[in-house]
Structure formats: structure tokens, C-alpha cells
Structure 1
């Protein structure tokens, strides 16, 4: 007999591509999941996955099970909504970046739960939310999307600004062109799939709008954007950061925005929803709540 836990397991395995990653997502050990897989294959009498040097892939029977599991789990998760007479009920799993999630997503979730107390919400904050998205209903992502298995809902346009503190600029001088950054201490955020030392920009004053790129050699690097911003505020160098992150510091005078006549490659803020899972009413309503917070003007442009 197949249990709901088996269905959630195969969906998690299909999303991560490995037993170890699925085990982390489900908070169990890899040996326990390996045993569950063997038992499930024995019950069904078919092989569900094939292991190779690059990981594992699902067999046709495994792919069919994943498809059916996603459909059934969507119906189960939506059952609470349908039985509650129109009220929103059931689980809501959201993954978001640490800083943005804490400042901007957590308040939306708090208000959402106050309005819909039957929803059981979980907010997981991660440096790499897209890589921590197993079993998530909504993933807040900043940047481009290269995975067609997600539907992207635009929450806000988000420019990237080059900033430095007044103390750093007094000490080291103010560069007038991006090419001059090669002579300055640059601060970099290490992110999962981005080439973070290649800063792309284009002039907003020329008709060609041709994009150029500058390779920096970071003086300091961190995987945490808030740390990099604070380094910049402390006068340790020049940082390329999201507008949402540095706009308050620029407003307070802690940082100065450089190269205002140039546009650096932006990173839009998106709410990602899985395409292969039925979307419950509570998920759709939560995404609309996010849009209400960030549109037509996001909070960092109202300070």
C-alpha cells in the first residue's frame, strides 16, 4: 500500500535529483530514504529510478508515479480549502533569501496568518532559496530564472547599485567611470550560479545602449549580502548590491550611489510557483498578497 509519505518522497526526489538532497529536505537520513525507495519498488514491483555516475534518473514507471503523486498531493493539500467553506486552510511553505525574507516576506506572512488563522505557514530563510525549494509552495527568488518547471510572478523590478561609504570615497577617491573600479577595493557577494566578479553595465545616456562588462578582483567576499553591505558602510570598499538592500543606507547617508548615469544588470524579485503541482487557493492568495506589498511601488522606493 502506498502512503502519503511515499508520494511526498518521490516528489522530493524528483525535485532534488538525489537521495541525499531529498533526505535534507525531508529531515531524515539518506539510509532511511534509500530503504523507503527499496520498499516502495518492492510493493509496486517495478524499478522507479536508475542510478548512474551523475546521480539518478526516473524510469518511465517512476516518471508516471511522480506525475500522479504531484496531482494527488495537490488535491490533498487543497482538500482543507474546499471543506472549509471558502476559508483558506492547510499548509503554506515559503522559502526566501535571508535578508529579503526577514525584512519583506515575514511581515506579509504575519498579516496573511492573522487574516487566515487556519493556514499553517512555514517560512524557511536560505542563502540559496532556489536550491532549498523542495516541497515549497512559493520560492522568493532574486535574479533570472532558468528552470521552466516554475511559473514566475514578478513582484518588483530591482536595480543593482554601486555604492561606497563617504569615508571610503574621502580616503580613496571617487571613481568617475566603472573601468576605474580596477583601482579600488571591491566587495562581492558569492551566490550559487552567478559569476559575481563580472559586473555588467551600460550607459543610460547613449543611444546604442551597448552592454559592457568589468571583471573585478574582490578585496572581500561573503555569501551573505547583509555582511557585504555592512562592510561597505564601514568603509572597506565598493559594493554592487540590490536596490532593495542599499536604498535605506543611501537615504540615511551611510552610502553614496556611484555611476548614476550607468545601469548595472538588475535582478528582479520573483515569486516562483511549481508548474507541475496544482496551485491551491491559499497559495494563489498569498502570491497576490505579496504583489500588493510590492506593487505599484516597492517599499524601498517609499522611504
Structure 2
């Protein structure tokens, strides 16, 4: 019979994709990893991994072990967590995926504070410019996302709305005509910088006049486009154009005056920060629900 440690061992090898990396991850020697894998395959009478030079390729049987074994590991962790939850001693592991900017500026401090309060919980954070459910070697418990994402198989929870602002650098503002209405963005008088994100139509910008309620939808012609948020912000700081971004990502620049808000009499649509999970049952996990509550409370203080 397979032991739970055998399953964890194999999943680690498969995720690392070579023996040397797996050995470092497991804190053992590469020969030990090779021998243990051979013993596991002999026990099962199956080939779990094919060697292709220095790289490893998981076989069909190996993938079955990963898929079913991951579920068993989560079930065992859930049992242990439920038992400890009876005395409110939070424990277990949380795999999290998040956008790079949000992860660095907002989520990593929250994780640090959570870890101080619940030291028995271990957390793995994977950051990506365009987060995907497959970015983590193991199935994630939570994927944070900003904006809309259509994933029918994922449970969606809104964590917090975030305000968007239109802004540019003082240098840009001093050299370009005054911007008094959104419609001027459609002329060749102004340069717009856009971030490609979430498969959305990034050239379509929407505004609503705060006092009158008048709505304006217009399509800008970008002078610069990137899929990296920090690149877009740097271009704006260099005085290359106007950006339409989440306020939390620009708060330092807005407070120091290196970026200046434009058209403050117009509101831009708010964007939700959401947490995605595999199932509603995962969201009810004690450690997951506690972490999400913790994150919600902290984000309310900083957004």
C-alpha cells in the first residue's frame, strides 16, 4: 500500500522535472531520489516517469497518481485541520497564485502578518504577470485576480473593489494641451498608454461624470502597450503618456506628485479584486476562510 509520504515524494519529483532540483527541494541526494523512485515504480509495477536526458516526463500512470494523490493529500490535510480547528489551532498549507504587482505590494505583507498570527500554517506564493490556474506545480488553493475572469469550474469570491484613476506625469502635463473632457483622448493631441490584461478590450475606456451622471465610452488609440503593469507605470513616469490604472498601484506616485490625477470630476469603473478557488467546499476550508477574512480586513485598511 502506498504511504502518504510516497505520494508527496512523487508529486515533488514531477513538479521539479529533474532529479537534481527534486533532491534540493527534498533536501536529499540525487541518487537517493533516483533509488526511491525506482523502488516506488517496482512496488506498483508501473513506469511513473520517463527519463528524457536530464528532463523527466510523467507517464499516464504517473499523472493518475498525481491527480488522485493530490486529492488524498488535501483530504488528509483537511482532516488534520478539522481536528485542530476544534481547539482553534490553525494549521496546514495554502498554495496561492497572484498578479506580481498586487502580490508584491499588497498580498505579501498580509501573508507575513497572517503567518505571525498563525505560525503553524505554511504558505506558498506564486506570482505571475497573467495568473493562471496552472501556474503552480500543485493545484492552488486560492488564485487572486483583478478584473473579470470567466472560469465556470472555479468558485469566485469578491475580496474588495478597487478604484481606477487616469493620470500622467507633471512633465507630460506641462507639454501637452489641457485635458478637460474624456473625448479629447480620442484625438492625436494626447498619448495613451495601456496595459493588456485579462483578455479585455484595453482600448475601450469608460467614464462617468460624478455630478451629472453622464456616461462616456470611447476607444483610444494607444501609443504604447505592454502586458507588464510596472512597465506601463514607468512609461507614464517618463512622461510618455496617460495611463488608466488601479489607484492602489499608483498611490506612492500620486502622494509624492510624480503622477497627477487627470479628470478627477469623472469616475472610472471600479475593478474587483477576486479570489478564485476550485470549489465552494474549498472556500469553506477553515484555513482558507480564515485567510480570506484576514486578507479582506487588511485590504479594507489599505485600498
Both structures adopt the same fold (TM-score exceeding 0.5) = yes
1:187 aligns with 2:193: yes
* Cα deviations by residue, 1:4-30 (Å, 9 ceiling, x for unpaired): 79999xxx9xxxxxxxxxx9x944389
Superposed, 1:199-210 pairs within 5 Å as 199-207=205-213, 209-210=214-215
2:42 is aligned to none
Distance 2:58 2:135 in 1: 21
1:116 is aligned to 118
- Whether the 8 Å CA contact 2:133–2:143 is kept in 1: the answer is no
Distance 1:284 1:276 in 2: 11
Q: Secondary structure at the match of 1:129?
A: coil
1:81 is aligned to 81
Distance 1:115 1:193 in 2: 37
1:299 aligns with 2:288: no
Deviation, 1:242, is 0.6
Distance 1:150 1:39 in 2: 22
- Whether the 8 Å CA contact 2:192–2:223 is kept in 1: the answer is yes
Distance 1:255 1:241 in 2: 12
- Whether the 8 Å CA contact 1:143–1:266 is kept in 2: the answer is no
* Cα deviations by residue, 1:177-229 (Å, 9 ceiling, x for unpaired): 1121132111111224111122122333335x54x322222222222112211
Q: Secondary structure at the match of 2:152?
A: coil
2:290 is aligned to 285
Q: Secondary structure at the match of 1:157?
A: strand
Q: Secondary structure at the match of 1:139?
A: strand
Distance 2:135 2:63 in 1: 26
* Cα deviations by residue, 1:28-74 (Å, 9 ceiling, x for unpaired): 3897565134884xx9xxxxxxxxxxxxxxxxxxxxxx7x8786454
- Whether the 8 Å CA contact 1:74–1:280 is kept in 2: the answer is no
* Cα deviations by residue, 1:243-299 (Å, 9 ceiling, x for unpaired): 11123311211111112222223211122222165342111111111011022xx41
- Whether the 8 Å CA contact 2:154–2:276 is kept in 1: the answer is yes
Q: Return 276-285 or 237-246, whichever deviates more.
A: 276-285
TM-score, normalised via structure 2 length? 0.73
Q: Secondary structure at the match of 2:126?
A: strand
Deviation, 1:175, is 1.3
Gaps of 5+ in 2: 19-48, 51-55
Gaps of 5+ in 1: 13-22, 44-65
- Whether the 8 Å CA contact 1:201–1:263 is kept in 2: the answer is yes
- Whether the 8 Å CA contact 1:186–1:220 is kept in 2: the answer is yes
Please point out which of 142, 146, 170 is paired with 2:150: 146
TM-score, normalised via structure 1 length? 0.73
* Cα deviations by residue, 1:143-184 (Å, 9 ceiling, x for unpaired): 123223333333222121110111101111221111211321
Distance 2:218 2:230 in 1: 23
